[in-house]
Chains A and B, each alone.
Chain A
């Protein structure tokens, strides 16, 4: 019986399993759920940055913004 040698198995043989897993992980596109979580995490980090800023009480928002 012929054993099927896939590119992944060949790479595992040559490089060692951990290295291949690491490469595979970086090359695999994130899932939509992972992307959504990453986007939410970024906005949470933004929120934390804003929360750390001291703004004087008399500063109004730049709503009707005019340069």
Chain B
């Protein structure tokens, strides 16, 4: 077996692809190395839900045969990856991170798994998730079958949720990329906390068939990777029309960096209070420097006021009503009491009583929000905000103990995660520095189906910075 050094564990997809093409190692070698690393180090971060070494090795062997016969299937061929454990992989447990579903096995793959398999990507394992992707609202990071997600940069800190495993596993070099999900913040938060590049796609762009439903009108699947370019290459494979997903937008995505508009033609907006007041004091220098770098790319950056609307209340009502309907059998059977987090149990039970009028009104206000945000995107191409206001919280901290410092500051993009999810907008998370020796990140939010523009800005930013290349201490 070829010697696979630590640089390979932190290589981008094009770099791994070049190694495979050059014959530096085989796809089987790569599959064995990542599968072993994920199995050995995944538990260190509570990032691993299920190792799949035999599947990985078999797939690696198949890829080697394909390459030998000239059956080339694109840049993801032979690249190992993991999926959040709410995405089904036929014949293996898909626990949704929750005890009541610990023995659940589906006999079909999620569409994203089939799409990745078709291009020769190599599944190495299922990655941890907060139980039921956090449905009901959890009090502690420990709300998971696999325990609290531990941050590779500091294991006393949380890796973020609910895609805890994808964030930590990519950050620690346990997989080159991973597929996570977001209903409201579950990609943006772990990517920000773990210092990983990630993309929340436009609602409907990536099929959710075979993934646990938490909210039919909010759920999205998206990639965690080493760079904006990696996210573009992954999205090109997993996006596309799917008749099995009623929310499918019916369109694909072609990653076209060659057709990017020049940065100087693009307009971006931010709210200064997000960077000067709402952000944690320790993170402000990193955020300010990141803004400066973005301006240096030629991007036209202006200051604006974010439309103030009741994003939190609208999202809360919609999510509560939809999750209560989805998990009604769990709640009414009493099995909900097997969940690890008492606050989450209470949240799901209470959600059963959301009046229809609240759900309908929330959906009507959501329509108004969507219109308002789309009008905003008539003036600017992208909104810039911190991914989270500061670095990862302590793994023992209560998550319901009040908002972050600066949460009461008015006028900024307060609720940009909720607003972005309610309007189905894509967001790209870019690591942009450190605070308290932990990563912090920016998020770029664009209008629906603007992924190529966001990725272009991400590539420009990452060409001028190396935050996305940093490695957690002890993970090399």
Contacts and interface: CB of A to CB of B under 8 A. Distances in A.
B137 A39 contact: yes
A66 B10 CA distance: 36
B10 to A, nearest CB: 33
Interface in B197-248: 202-204, 217, 247
Interface of B: 136-137, 202-204, 217, 247, 249, 310, 313-314, 316-317, 320, 342-343, 345-347, 349-351, 353-355, 358, 360-368, 370, 423-425, 448-449
B414 to A, nearest CB: 14
Contacts of A47: 317, 355, 358
Contacts of B314: 50
A22 interface: no
Nearest to A34: B346
Nearest to B368: A59
Nearest to B359: A61
Chain B contact residues, majority secondary structure:
helix
Given A63-B217, A66-B204, 7 more contacts: A32-B345, A32-B346, A35-B345, A50-B310, A50-B317, A50-B361, A67-B449
A50 B204 contact: no
Interface string A32-67: 100110111011011101110101000111110111
5 contacts: A35-B345, A47-B317, A49-B313, A55-B361, A61-B360
Contact of A55 (B354, B355, B365): B365
Contacts, number: 97
B354 A43 contact: yes
Contacts of B370: 62
Contacts of A61: 360, 363-364, 366-367
Contacts of B448: 67
Contacts of B202: 67
Most-contacted residue by chain A among B320, B347, B354, B364 (CB, 10 A)? B364
Given A40-B350, A59-B368, A67 B424 contact: yes
Interface of A: 29-30, 32, 35-36, 38-40, 42-43, 45-47, 49-51, 53, 55, 59-63, 65-67
Closest 10 CB pairs of A and B: A67-B424, A61-B363, A39-B350, A35-B346, A49-B313, A67-B448, A67-B203, A39-B346, A36-B346, A62-B366
A49 B349 contact: no
B353 A43 contact: yes
Given A39-B347, A43-B350, A55-B364, A67 B358 contact: no
Nearest to A50: B361
B316 A59 contact: no
A65 B318 CA distance: 12
Nearest to A41: B350
A49 to B, nearest CB: 4
Contacts of B368: 55, 59
Contact of A43 (B203, B320, B364, B366): B320
A63 B363 contact: yes
Nearest to A33: B346
Contacts of A53: 310, 361, 365
Contacts of A50: 310, 313-314, 317, 358, 361-362, 365
A39 B343 contact: yes
A46 B316 contact: yes
A36 B347 CA distance: 7
A62 B368 CA distance: 9
Contacts of B424: 65-67
Given A43-B350, A50-B361, A30 B342 contact: yes
Contacts of A32: 342, 345-346
Nearest to A56: B368
Contacts of B217: 62-63, 65
Contacts of B362: 50
Nearest to A48: B313
Contact of B343 (A35, A40, A55): A35
Nearest to B424: A67
B60 to A, nearest CB: 37
Given A46-B316, A46-B317, A62 B363 contact: yes
Contacts of B347: 39
Contacts of B204: 66-67
Of B137, B313, B351, most buried by chain A (CB within 10 Å of CB) is B313
Nearest to B447: A67
Contacts of A29: 342
Greatest chain B CB density within 10 A among A35, A65, A67 is at: A67
A45 to B, nearest CB: 8
A20 B449 CA distance: 56
A53 B361 CA distance: 9
A24 B358 CA distance: 38
